[in-house]
Amino acid sequence: MRSTRIKSEGRKGTRNQSQLSLAVFATLLLIAVIIGGGGVRYGIANLIVQLCALLLLAVRGDSVLGFWRQAPLSLRAVLGLSICVPLIQIIPLPESVWSILPGRELVQQSFALTGRSGWAPISVDPVRTAVALTGMIVPIAVVTAGWTAKRRHLVLLGWVVVGLGLLNVCIGIPQVLSGGTAGRIYAGPSATGILYGTFANRNSTGLLLVSALSLAAMLPAPKPHHFVLPARITICALLMTAIILTRSRTALVLAAIPVALVLLKMVVERRNGKSGPRRSNLFLASAVLLGLGAVTAVLTIAPGRVNDTVERFQTQSDARSYIWEDSLYSASRYWPVGAGMGTFDEVFQTDESLENATERRAGRAHNDYLEIAIEAGLPGLILIALWLILTGWFAWRARHSQLRWMAWAAASILLAIALQSITDYPLRNQAMLGIAAFALLLLARIAERPEEEASP
């Protein structure tokens, strides 16, 4: 009797611990999206998010150890290398070593003017690089602390991400209706009538909404119910409407990825006989009606926004092309070592050509691949290639899993991030770092054990 009671109490304690971990995990994602969408300029907000990530690591210490013992070697290796790149850049080196690195002439001149000499790190601004290193806390916490989480908990966390997308829709409604005079969390230019949600950059808002759209379309329902399909379609229609209202060209294009994934699933299931004609017809009819309703709502609530979004595709003058031109020169100056993670804004000022200079600072390269080439050189580009290969490999391995569509939804999020990185910098805020890490966790977990049942 006593042993039975002890076992019962043990199971109850384990269940309570699991629920606590789930709550902390969900809280981290919530806080990251609500206050972590401003980028490096909002240090206090980023610190709060990172402290929550450290709390998650403390609560899920067993899972962290389990990750470094059980996770695929490829994932552990690439994640470890991602930590090593900025870490190595802030380790002091003898003057005879750092002074011969490419692009260090200005550092030598500044040392000569101040009378300083001796050891110095690879990074031309080690403080910035240290800040960039702390930015790894959130993705590391999400991936490692969630590695041993039950699959049903991962599904619930996926719906939390969908809920965060809908939260951005709710916050964005007054921003659009007021013409940008109310509801804006981060001050900045070009705020008129655009849906920013909880982000400072509308492209990041659009990317979060695309991520939520991917998961809303593919996640299994927590509990079977006849209302699941209409609710799913309604959520997807709301998210698609919000993507249009961000007036983000990249987000509007990237929304085609989850739409294509849904169509592919419908074709495959119909071919395999898993979806009857009645269900398919209901889905298509509901999608058409809600799609028309979404377009009507946009035209009614924010007249001209659709036209404005389309017109942005026709814009010929884009300052980014000039930034890219000068960024290529910066990359060649510090090649192949790089200037140090987080140092773009400093080093670019010395390489920006006079004919391309404006009253505003570039701030970012608006192409994360170029920015990584400047900051981390060849090691950074190799690291990007390894992450892309690893993501593709996990997506391929997940094809035999019962949860493959959920895994491919996660892969589509990572694909959208990779594509948006061509013209923007989606992973330069804590919010999208957390979402990207969760997508990687979801994909890797399903790919690692594709034979497992949907229920843990």
For residue range 345-371, what is the model confidence (pLDDT) as tens digits? 888 888 777 666 666 666 788 899 999
Q: What secondary structure, in 3-state letters, does 89-109 show?
A: HCCCECHHHHCCCCCCHHHHH
Residue 296: inside a domain: yes
99 burial type by CB count under 10 A (0-12 exposed, 13-18 middle, 19+ buried) = middle
Residue 59: inside a domain: yes
Cβ atoms within 10 Å of 42's Cβ, excluding its own: 18
Q: Does residue 364 come out as left (phi exceeding 0), alpha (psi in the -120 to 50 range) or beta? A: beta
With a cut of 50, which residues of the chain have pLDDT below it? Answer: 6-7, 9-10, 13, 281, 285, 288-289, 300-302, 306, 310-317, 453-456
- pLDDT at site 287: 52
- pLDDT at site 13: 46
- Contacts for 153-156: CB closer than 8 Å, 24+ residues apart: 153/18, 153/22, 153/25, 154/441, 154/442, 154/445, 155/219, 155/220, 155/222, 155/406, 156/22, 156/26, 156/222
- pLDDT at site 300: 47
- pLDDT at site 453: 45
3-state secondary structure of 317: coil
- pLDDT at site 454: 44
The letter for the amino acid at 167 is: L
Residue 283: inside a domain: yes
- pLDDT at site 187: 76
Full domain range(s) for residue 403: 2-87+131-316+367-448
Provide the 8-state DSSP code for 195: -
Residue 57: inside a domain: yes
CB 55, CB 94: distance < 8 Å: no
From residue 360, give the alpha-carbon distance in Å to each of 34, 56, 282, 356.
Answer: 28, 39, 52, 11
Provide the 8-state DSSP code for 224: -
Gap between the Cα atoms of 421 and 417, Å rounded:
6
3-state secondary structure of 365: coil
- DSSP labels, 353-379: -GGG--SS---S-S-HHHHHHHHHHHH
Cβ atoms within 10 Å of 379's Cβ, excluding its own: 17
Residue 222: inside a domain: yes
3-state secondary structure of 120: strand
- pLDDT at site 271: 80
CB 213, CB 165: distance < 8 Å: yes
Residue 233: inside a domain: yes
Reported as type and span, the H/E element at residue 279 is: helix 277-301
- pLDDT at site 310: 47
Beta bridge partners of 93: 120
Residue 95: inside a domain: no
CB 37, CB 199: distance < 8 Å: yes
Residue 125: inside a domain: no
Gap between the Cα atoms of 247 and 351, Å rounded:
32
CB 429, CB 203: distance < 8 Å: no
CB 416, CB 118: distance < 8 Å: no
Give which of 455, 456, 450 is closest to 405, Cα–Cα. Answer: 450
- pLDDT at site 16: 61
Give me the number of domains the chain comprises: 1
Gap between the Cα atoms of 195 and 180, Å rounded:
8
